[in-house]
Amino acid sequence: MEIAGYRVPLEVVRIREDIKTMKIRGAGNIARHGAQAIAIAAEKYSGKDLEDFKKYLKAVADYVKSARPTAVSLPNSISYVMSRLEKGRPSSVEEAVEVVTRAAREFIAYSENAVKVIAQLGAKRIERGDTLMTHCHSRASVEVIITAHRQGKVGRVYVKETRPALQGLITAAELAREGVEVVLIPDSAVRYYMKRVDKVVVGADAVAANGAVINKIGTSLVALAAKEARARVYVASETYKFSPYTIIGELVPIEVREPTEIVDFAWLAENPGVEVFNPVFDATPPEYVDAIITEKGVIPPQSAMLILVEEYGVAPTSTEHLAHAVDLE
Ligand code: RI2
């Protein structure tokens, strides 16, 4: 595979392909693999020209970032690694490779630790005997629930199957393996069961500056049903899922995947008059979220901007502070 005249290492092509086809999935997992892909690309560079190395790595970074559009954790993790290369001012390719691989390791360690912290903080919000509901498969949410379960607090957990990719089945199996009382329900049963639920715990693919949470399609309906039933909604999200792009007015793009994830080719061929759409994320407005549990603390969604300001700085009159996160050139 060639990008901008550079050969992309096979391992990197594979990681991107696995992210695209959702073999590698979950916003945090995608981010860690994105960082790892850049480190692999750096190590595989065989030239001696530092400027050429930087151009090569930028081309690979853009290529990996484009694997999936919605989870902002992917561009954020890659931008983290690339910004270290910029700031590190290496004087040779060897030094640059060292800076990049160290940054990728740092990001991965940070990310894994963040999930552990979120598990501890999130579990504090679960009270003894709580009935929970979750959606899709989110590592951060599963860890919150397992931690609360080990503390003896979780009653029963309703897990939505989460069509069309059925990630709810992964969640149900993981929770059951931990001894959690799990009930797998069809997505359409969300309102039917919500009256029995005390708290909803879901993950995030992106959090916008206004506190809106972008997560697997159907999350906004869970939140709507939860509001009606007065169940609390908690979002477990590492801070690198907060989108700096939204500060400058960008909307989070919603990925639309193949119709064949919903119906097969034969059905499509038999029904040429039917259009099939498969959007895989939706946005839950901040009013429907009680708190976002991050590794930096539990915040109301309306405080999302504080996280972004801490991460990217304040410079209301310029966008320079965003340069490492947003391609503004
Ligand atoms: P963690 C997933 O997206 C789900 O929407 C999940 O809630 C979110 O990423 C966060 O997952 P997909 O990759 O980072 O399944 O908490 O499309 O694992």
Does ligand 1 come within 6 angstroms of the Cβ of 244? no
Cis before residue 9, ω within 30 degrees of 0? no
The residue nearest atom 3 of ligand 1, judged by CA position, is 26
For the chain, give the longest Cα–Cα distance. Answer: 64
Going residue by residue through the chain (329 aa), what tens digit of pLDDT does each one get?
A: 899 999 999 999 999 999 999 999 999 999 999 999 999 999 999 999 999 999 999 999 999 999 999 999 999 999 999 999 999 999 999 999 999 999 999 999 999 999 999 999 999 999 999 999 999 999 999 999 999 999 999 999 999 999 999 999 999 999 999 999 999 999 999 999 999 999 999 999 999 999 999 999 999 999 999 999 999 999 999 999 999 999 988 999 999 999 999 999 999 999 999 999 999 999 999 999 999 999 999 999 999 999 999 888 754 444 544 554 555 43
Rounded-to-integer distance, Cα 293 and Cα 127, Å? 16
Q: Which of 187, 205, 264, 290 does the annotation list as catalytic? A: 205
192 in the same domain as 163: yes
What pLDDT sits at residue 268?
A: 97
Which two structure tokens, joined as six digits, stand for 24?
Answer: 């590698």
What pLDDT sits at residue 312?
A: 81
Does ligand 1 come within 6 angstroms of the Cβ of 220? no
Say how many Å lie between the CA of residue 70 and the centre of ligand 1.
10
DSSP H helices, 1-71, are 10-20, 27-44, 50-65
Which helix (H) or strand (E) segment holds residue 207: the answer is strand 206-207
How much is the CA Rg of the chain, to the nearest whole Å? 21
Does ligand 1 come within 6 angstroms of the Cβ of 135? no
Are the CB atoms for 214 and 70 separated by under 8 Å?
Answer: yes
Residue 52 is among the residues annotated as catalytic for this protein: no
Rounded-to-integer distance, Cα 169 and Cα 214, Å? 21
Does ligand 1 come within 6 angstroms of the Cβ of 168? no
Q: Coil, strand, or helix at residue 20?
A: helix
Does ligand 1 come within 6 angstroms of the Cβ of 26? yes
**DSSP strand pairing (154-160 vs 199-202):** unpaired
Cis before residue 164, ω within 30 degrees of 0? yes
Residue 136 is among the residues annotated as catalytic for this protein: yes
The residue nearest atom 16 of ligand 1, judged by CA position, is 138
What pLDDT sits at residue 321?
A: 47
132 in the same domain as 52: no
Task: Specify the amino acid at residue 250.
Answer: E
Name the residue of 20, 22, 137 to mutate for ligand 1: max ligand atoms within 8 A of Cβ: 137
Task: Specify the amino acid at residue 83.
Answer: S
Task: Domain of residue 256: give its range.
Answer: 124-326
Last residue of a domain, one of 115, 134, 165: 115
149 in the same domain as 241: yes
71 in the same domain as 140: no
161 in the same domain as 68: no
What pLDDT sits at residue 82?
A: 96
Helix 27-44 × helix 10-20 angle, to 10°? 170
Supply the CATH number for residue 15's domain.
Answer: 1.20.120.420
What sign does the dihedral 159-211-230-281 (CA atoms) show? negative
Last residue of a domain, one of 47, 80, 115: 115
Task: Specify the amino acid at residue 220.
Answer: S
320 in the same domain as 179: yes
Q: Which of 136, 187, 264, 327 does the annotation list as catalytic? A: 136
What pLDDT sits at residue 316?
A: 43
Are the CB atoms for 154 and 180 separated by under 8 Å?
Answer: yes
Atom of ligand 1 nearest to the CA of 25: 13
Are the CB atoms for 205 and 183 separated by under 8 Å?
Answer: no
255 in the same domain as 180: yes
Supply the CATH number for residue 206's domain.
Answer: 3.40.50.10470
What is the spatial order of strands in the sheet that 154-160 belongs to? 181-185, 154-160, 130-134, 199-202, 232-236, 291-294, 297-299
Say how many Å lie between the CA of residue 5 and the centre of ligand 1.
33
Number of Cβ within a 10 Å radius of residue 150: 14
What pLDDT sits at residue 322?
A: 52
Does ligand 1 come within 6 angstroms of the Cβ of 28? yes
157 in the same domain as 264: yes
Split into its structural domains, the chain has a count of 2
Which two structure tokens, joined as six digits, stand for 92?
Answer: 């040779």
Last residue of a domain, one of 115, 145, 160: 115
Rounded-to-integer distance, Cα 199 and Cα 266, Å? 41
Say how many Å lie between the CA of residue 140 and the centre of ligand 1.
9
96 in the same domain as 46: yes
The residue nearest atom 15 of ligand 1, judged by CA position, is 26
191 in the same domain as 264: yes
For 279, which DSSP code? B
102 in the same domain as 76: yes
132 in the same domain as 104: no
The pTM is what?
A: 0.94
